[in-house]
Amino acid sequence: PERRAALLTFVIIGAGPTGVELAGTITELARDTLPPDFRHIDTHQARVVLIEAGPRVLAGFPDDLSAYAQRSLESLGVEIMLGQPVTECSAEGVVYGGNTLKAKTLIWAAGVHASRAAEWLNAPADHAGRVQVLPDLTIPGRPDIFAIGDTVVIAGPDGKPVPGIAPAAKQQGRYVAEAIRARLRGDAPAPFRYKHSGSLAQIGKRKAVIDFGWIKLRGALAWWIWGIAHIYFLIGLRHRLSVALSWLWIYTRDQRAARLITQGSSKVMG
């Protein structure tokens, strides 16, 4: 029983958008999708634990959306541990806040250490190892070297660090191209200014939160917008149509489109 409990325990470390989405998805899979394929295992006994060192889930979202996400996860059965930094991970489980939890599946969603660019550039770095760049995204003392993406840290208009996400990196890439063109013309480039387009996070089926700054959404409408946004950024019309039809099938039939491989491979005798 103890070993089975560990095998059925899924620990997710980090309650950002990735951790929240994983927690909701794993819980829904165990509750709704897997039971017909695992008749000898009660998948409803699966335990999903979300551990966060900070005081709330989705720390980058407004307080009301963060609270809605927490309530939604808890209604699914997710156990949420806030203010609990993880101090040890092993094949047997995880240690957080002085507590030991036995689990065979650990998923790290709390971010990773930055690349070692600061070391080989001999540039100043913050506590996470990210390169501290100037307002024009160059290395201090090296105006010929630009650094962009999640390997750098620079303050946004609100004074907070620009998030290490793809939209920010794309804006920085376009800025560097324009800065180089300005230099070739003999002009001084203006400082980089990050424009936040919005934050989206899925919690579960028909549940999501969206923060566009000027408007906040949650629930089914936010879930639909989240799905449309992800389809829009896919490459090629064929992929967009394929994913859209797959999601519509899941929504209307309450089934998963993906096939579950639950049996071992069989030998072909010839």
Rounded Cα distance between 167 and 159, Å, is 18
Residue of 2, 21, 28, 119 with catalytic role = 21
Q: Which residues, listed in sequence order, are joined to residue 51 by a DSSP beta bridge?
A: 13, 81
Q: Which residues, listed in sequence order, are joined to residue 208 by a DSSP beta bridge?
A: 202
Task: Specify whether 21 is catalytic.
Answer: yes
Rounded Cα distance between 192 and 214, Å, is 22
Rounded Cα distance between 58 and 172, Å, is 24
The catalytic residues are 21
